[in-house]
Structure 1
Amino acid sequence: MEAYLIRSSICLVILYSIYRIFFKNDPHHQLKRIIALICILFACGFLFIPLGGLMVPDTYPQMMNVVFMQGSEGIQEGLSKIITDNMTNIYLVLYFIGMSVFALRSLTGVATIVKWYVSSDKIKKWGFTVAKVDKNIAPFTFFNILFIGKQEFHEEAMKALIVHEQYHKHQYHSIDTVLLELLTILYWFNPVVWLFQRDIKTEHEYMADEEVLKKGFDVLDYQYLLFQTRTGVSLNLGSNFSSKVNLKKRLHMMNKEKIKTKRSYIKALMLLPIMGIILVTSGFLEANNNLSLEIKALKSKQSLDTLPGNLRDQIENEKLQFRIRGNANTTGVTPLFILKKGKKEEKISPSFMQSLKKDQLKSVFVLKGESAIRKYGKEGKNGVVIIELKKDE
């Protein structure tokens, strides 16, 4: 689990950095919202795409396995760097404590909304279920429910508020809000998640403000209305007027000239190869992780079955020896032994193989299955052991 959290968090950081560089001042608010959500969903889901076995199917992991050699300095050094189980447990405990705190925070917000809904008078109006709360809160929408406080607005101001909240409803901004809340619970430790949440909520407000002005409402009157509505109670859940979106930025965006070009869509398409690179890199990391886990298992067993149920490597009396052990039958099978010298290869006998000492070996690889047969023909049907000696041998 910790590996998933770390890798997906790194992906979030990379994609947010690119998102900010490409789209910081872009006027396409809806496009920015969609791209940000795609970045989040990709970062959370790309590790579930099984590319590890597809990146190099002929060579790893089914074609080639490193034979574990007891006392190998390189392997021992790598294994010594693995985080201990106790340390991992401490990290997980801290993670779940933080997750519980932020989950409680969000549940408190949901409970407050439920309480207001249950205790309020409700009517069907403006396409909403309108819940009138006996508190001084700013109007906000949560899915199909419009919460309004006891503060009174004149007719024109109320029309502007309704247009604003209808836009939030029609664009399903509450779904974004719930998704972002879940994300901050799972990735509470990653500041990029909070930045994504801030940016997406800001785009929500920019779009809703833009919709109000498109309907012909006066800019100055609407801006004054924003100051009035920010005096209410603020919730972390729900797309509402009093959300913690910088009012100064919203006012500036209303007065800013917006020139929309096709360059925004070109920049959006540029994210595809970047995501592709992340996928490929993840595939290689997955393959490498599989090898690390395999070597770790070998360390505890002190042996490895490198062919399906047949071939086992065993180190004994300072010699690398191979003995074949059948599973369903008692007939032994012998793999093909190959000595590699640079680009040249030559067959060697099992007795020569058994005479080698571990300090003579530079590397030992095993090919099995279709990969071995494809390269060495019928002789490779029982597997192929390829060894390379140190240069002084």
Structure 2
Amino acid sequence: MAVPFIEFNNVSSAGRFPGVYSVVARTANFQETVSSTLSAGTIDIVFMLYGLGVGVCLFRCVFGLATLLRLFIQSSKRRRWGFTVVSLDRHVSPFTFFNVLFTGKDDMDNAERETMLLHEWVHRDQYHSIDNIFLEAVTIMFWFNPVVWLFRRDIKAEHEYYADACVLKNGVSPEDYQHILFKARTGIAIDLGNYLSNKTSLINRFTMMTKTRTNHKSSYWSVSLYAALMSVIVLLGAFSARQEEPQFDKVATYEQGEAAMYQTLTARIKYPTIARRENRSGVVQVSFTVNEKGTVENIKAETQKDGYLLKEMVVVGYYQTSEKAKGIDDALKGAAVDAVEGLGKFTPAEKDGKPVRCVLTLPIKFTLGEKI
């Protein structure tokens, strides 16, 4: 969540990481293409649905906290076993919220109750309540992502597995402990949205008690590779989410003005006959460099945007075939490059009062229509 807001300075297409820049540029182009297809109304609907989901999850969390607060205020309290014990007038399994232990009516003997307390001590000492508040916050913000719900479920289950393992390490036999759990159905890590709900089944917990966890080197390698992969994905997302800062005090401009430049281009460019016959259309990104003298050089027909982006110009042709529409080809690229080659002089870009080289990109959209 934080990485996209971090400033990455001194990184450009001419920087130290051309391979990374190329991947980032393509990612950014894909994002722009997707966003350009969404209307403002569609975006408003998406935000409205997101806000509705956030509202429902937030209400669920606040309702759970309010219920715990109400139980704490209305029920009798006492200090015992290192907890502030809240006695509820109902049959519920013991559960903790920080150092507060909520207990209900039960028919356990002292030994069974001591085993349950040991389980709750683990939840308290491991600060599982903080984990659960964090999980609630993440769920509220990313409720639309199914991975968040799976992550939430597994973390809560891990809380129970860990507390169970600590109980068994203290000499309680698995058979006795399973009998107590089945009797009490306890050990829940507090779920703020449904505070008395046990999300981890006893069957899964019983199964985990019989498993032997081993630490293999392959497991560590898997985790390391996963962490590295996620770091690369997050880093690329951070780069592609921001626009590169301008590198010039003044960008290169056409000597006769922008309007004259587009008039010259319109006069020079023609829709290739072969492209019309093959029903080809699309956008050609023509990148070119304006050097320190204002001369145009290094003209290329690219698929991605590079450098300072100029306004798009549109070239309209007419159908000459009923074939299925196709994308851009060498003929369209060649026509775009030829048009830019004859533009003439530019006023060079400036940096710190000195003329510098500047890369410009001109999107030329070739589109076909029916001749009236």
TM-score by length of 1: 0.61
1:319 aligns with 2:264: yes
Amino acid corresponding to residue 3 of structure 2 in structure 1: F
Partner residue of 1:17? none
Q: What one-letter code is carried by the residue in structure 1 that aligns with 2:249? A: P
Note if 1:273 corresponds to 2:228.
yes
Q: Deviations over 1:181-201 (max 9, x none)?
A: 111111111111100000001
Runs of 4+ that moved beyond 4 A: 57-60, 77-80, 231-235, 238-242, 309-313, 362-370, 385-389
Quick check: 1:361 aligned with 2:361?
no
How far apart are 1:252 and its partner, in Å? 0.6
> How far off its partner does 1:85 sit?
2.0
Partner SS state of residue 151, structure 2: helix
> Which of 272, 276, 294 is residue 337 of structure 1 equivalent to?
294
What letter corresponds to residue 46 of structure 2 in structure 1? Y
Distance of aligned partners of 1:367 and 1:167 in 2 relative to their CA distance in 1, 3 Å threshold: farther
Q: Matched residues in 2 for 1:135 and 1:92: separation?
A: 42
Mapping of residues 140-179 of structure 1, within 5 Å: 140-179=95-134
Q: 1:85–1:383: structure 2 CA closer, same or farther, 3 Å change rule?
A: farther
Which residue number in structure 2 is paired with residue 381 of structure 1?
354
> Is 1:49 aligned to 2:28, yes or no?
no
CA distance in 2, matches of 1:165, 1:231: 9
Instruction: Check 1:308–1:249 CA distance in 2 against 1; reply closer, same or farther (3 A cut).
Output: same
Deviations 1:61-108 (A, max 9, x none): xxxxxxxxxxxxx9xx95993422222111111110111011111111
CA distance in 1, matches of 2:193, 2:81: 18
Match of 2:272 in 1: none
- The change in CA–CA distance for 1:58 and 1:214 in structure 2 (over 3 A counts) is same
Secondary structure of the residue aligned to 2:295 is strand
Report the CA distance shift for 1:82/1:219 in structure 2 as closer, same or farther (over 3 A): same
Higher mean Cα deviation, 243-252 or 259-268? 259-268
* Deviation per residue, 1:308-351 (Å, 9 max, x gap): 3575551336137xxxxxxxxxxxxx9631332579xxxxxxxx
CA distance in 2, matches of 1:238, 1:140: 14
Q: Distance in 1 between matches of 2:186 and 2:165?
A: 22
Counterparts of 2:178 and 2:292, CA distance in 1: 81
CA contact (8 A) 1:319 1:358 kept: no
1:150 CA displacement = 1.6
Would the aligned equivalents of 1:177 and 1:238 in 2 still touch at CA under 8 Å? Answer: no
- Corresponding residue for residue 203 of structure 2: 248
Give the direction of change, closer, same or farther, for the CA distance of 1:214–1:80 in structure 2 (3 Å limit). closer
**Larger helix percent:** 1
Change (3 A) 1:366 1:207: farther
d(CA) in 2 for partners of 1:180, 1:237: 10
1:180-191 equivalences in 2 (<5 Å): 180-191=135-146
Aligned residue in 1 for 2:241: 286
Secondary structure of the corresponding residue to residue 151 of structure 1: coil
Instruction: Determine which structure has greater relative contact order: mean sequence separation of CA pairs < 8 Å that are 6+ residues apart, divided by chain length.
Output: 1
Q: Does the aligned pair in 2 maintain the 1:168–1:208 contact within 8 Å?
A: yes
Q: 1:263 to 1:172 in 2, by over 3 A?
A: farther
Correspondence for 2:249: 308
* Aligned mates of 2:342, 2:142 — CA distance in 1: 42
Q: In the alignment, residue 5 of structure 2 is paired with which amino acid?
A: F
Root-mean-square deviation (Å): 4.1
Aligned residue identity for 1:382: P
Cα separation, 2, equivalents of 1:165 and 1:158: 11
Paired with 1:368 and 1:252, the residues of 2 have a C-alpha distance of 70
Amino acid at match of 1:106: C
Aligned length: 283
- Relative to structure 1, the CA distance from residue 90 to residue 166 in structure 2 (aligned partners, 3 Å threshold; closer, same or farther) is same
Q: Report the secondary structure of 1:100's partner residue.
A: helix
Conservation of the 8 A alpha-carbon contact between 1:136 and 1:149: yes
Within the candidate set 40, 49, 69, 1:85 is matched to 40
Q: Does 1:224 align with 2:183?
A: no
Whole-angstrom CA distance in 2 between matches of 1:388 and 1:148: 69
Change (3 A) 1:385 1:179: closer
Match of 2:61 in 1: 106
Q: Distance in 1 between matches of 2:34 and 2:139?
A: 34
Separation of aligned partners in 2, 1:160 and 1:45? 42
Identical positions, percent: 35
1:240 CA displacement: 8.3
Unaligned runs of 5+ in 1: 1-43, 61-73, 295-304, 321-333, 344-356, 374-379
Distance 1:158 1:218, change over 3 A: same
Q: Which amino acid aligns with 2:146?
A: P
